[in-house]
Amino acid sequence: MYLSKLFIPITKNLPSEAKIKSHQLMIQTGMIKQSSAGIYSWLPLGFKVMKKIEQIVREEQNFIGAQEMLMPTIQSSEIWKESGRYEDYGEEMLRIKDRQGREMLYGPTNEELITDVFRTSVKSYKSLPQLLYHIQWKFRDEIRPRFGVMRCKEFYMKDAYSFDLSDEDAKKSYNKMFYSYLKTFSRLGLKAIPMAAETGPIGGDLSHEFVILAETGESQIYADKRILQIDPSQYKFNDVSLQKMRKDFSTIYAVTDEKFKENEFNKQVSKENQMVAKGIEVGHIFYFSDKYSKPMNCLIDDKDGKKTSVKMGSYGIGVSRLVGASIEANFNNNIMKWPKTISPFDVVIIPSISKNNKENLIKAENVYKELKKQNIDVLLDDVDENMSNKFKKHDLIGVPYQIIIGSKSEKDNFEFKELNSKSEILSLEKIKSKLKL
């Protein structure tokens, strides 16, 4: 893609309410544009990052055997009345009357709807376990939307639901998701800490938040810092190993402020291991047994032909929020550097161009063609602008690798730079192989 053709409205005018870096940067580099309070359009640059995150989330859900489907955004109030949450949910639920006066709503979450799908579809324990997920827009009518995509009204979320015959089986499903989440965040280049958490309006008695460390986080976290040293890749994808994994994480103290008690913290964690920090919640998993299946009459025939309420859990990842969270975690020294796995482009070519001399631009176009042939997703900055401005711009756009075509390039050797590192002069062949690593 040529930068001059890319729809990327870079701006210096920041809205006054953009107080945190991710919000500022996403506006500055034209990743998003606000359409009304807490509601955003995703422009091509932001959209590409979000889609890459979505795809990694998807692959790791598929890996543990979850099946993708898609529930609608608009739901009938009927099922929420069955579960008892229609009144409870409060004003964050966007309530709608359709043209015939029926009470509808824009789904803030999908426990009721998936339970409704399931109860009419599955009758026997033989079809269990089941893991279903969808990646769909949700709406929460926040009274004070803020921090850009981090706390907005319309947001993109992966939510999964597990269905099992027994508590014991259900916890196996829970562990699979726990594992999937650790793998997902690791592929996104994030260090996520699973924390015992309150279950809140979803309900249930087992719950973990996945929190990444960031100064701008809304969650206060208290942890034994050794939890950061557990390597998730040591666990295998089987019930025994996954059970051990959850136990290993659970025996090390890590809670959000909702569960925090000072005397417990001091008793369980030695002073030198105590970590008190801010974090951003990027995932939340719940096991709530028959909280929805019982009132909604979602019954399964067990092995003896007896009807029993199916045991359920739910598992959310904030896909759109992760775009912002990733900026909060990676922005440093006025430089944004996207992790390779979710960068909007693999590499950017930055030629020094002047009105009278297009030689560098021609060289750049040839390099561009060569890289394209290798299926490398490359951005070419063909804008007629001085190099210092270009570098500042690309410090914000955050493509992690740069090929600079100016005074230092000669023949087939070019200046190659990883953001936050020194540049080196390399042949195109060497650059190609570096990019393909």
Residue 145's SS3 state is: coil
Q: Which of 24, 33, 82, 366 is close enough to bind its own copies by CB under 8 A?
A: 33
User: Which residues is 36 bridged to in the sheet?
Assistant: 39
User: 202 and 288 in contact (C-beta within 8 Å)?
Assistant: yes
Answer yes or no whether residue 16 interacts with its own copies by CB under 8 A. no
Answer yes or no whether residue 75 interacts with its own copies by CB under 8 A. yes
- Taking the complex as a whole, the smallest distance from the CB of residue 141 to its own copies amounts, in Å, to 5
Q: Which stretch binds its own copies (CB under 8 A): 88-96, 179-187, 190-198, 423-431?
A: 88-96
Site for its own copies in 138-157 (CB under 8 A): 139, 141, 143, 153-154
Helix (H) or strand (E) holding 58: helix 44-63
Strand order in the sheet with 413-418: 378-380, 347-351, 401-405, 413-418, 423-427
Answer yes or no whether residue 43 interacts with its own copies by CB under 8 A. yes
User: 28 and 10 in contact (C-beta within 8 Å)?
Assistant: yes
Cβ contacts of 120 within 8 Å, gap of 6 or more: none
For residue 142, give both structure tokens: 């926040």
Identify the residue whose tokens are 């979505």.
54
Q: Where are the alpha helices (DSSP H) in 71-163?
A: 77-83, 85-88, 111-119
Distance of CA 275 to the CA centre of its chain: 24
d(Cα 401, Cα 421) in Å, to the nearest integer? 10
- Taking the complex as a whole, the smallest distance from the CB of residue 71 to its own copies amounts, in Å, to 5
Answer yes or no whether residue 381 interacts with its own copies by CB under 8 A. no
d(Cα 309, Cα 320) in Å, to the nearest integer? 34
Answer yes or no whether residue 69 interacts with its own copies by CB under 8 A. yes
- Taking the complex as a whole, the smallest distance from the CB of residue 100 to its own copies amounts, in Å, to 8
Answer yes or no whether residue 251 interacts with its own copies by CB under 8 A. no
Q: Which of 116, 209, 328, 381 is close enough to bind its own copies by CB under 8 A?
A: 116
Answer yes or no whether residue 280 interacts with its own copies by CB under 8 A. no
Nearest residue (CB) to its own copies, 139 versus 414: 139
- Taking the complex as a whole, the smallest distance from the CB of residue 70 to its own copies amounts, in Å, to 4
Q: Which residues bind its own copies (CB under 8 A)?
A: 4-7, 9, 30, 33, 35-36, 39-44, 47, 50, 65, 67-76, 78, 91-92, 94, 96, 98-99, 102, 104, 106, 113, 116-117, 120-122, 126-127, 130, 132, 137, 139, 141, 143, 153-154
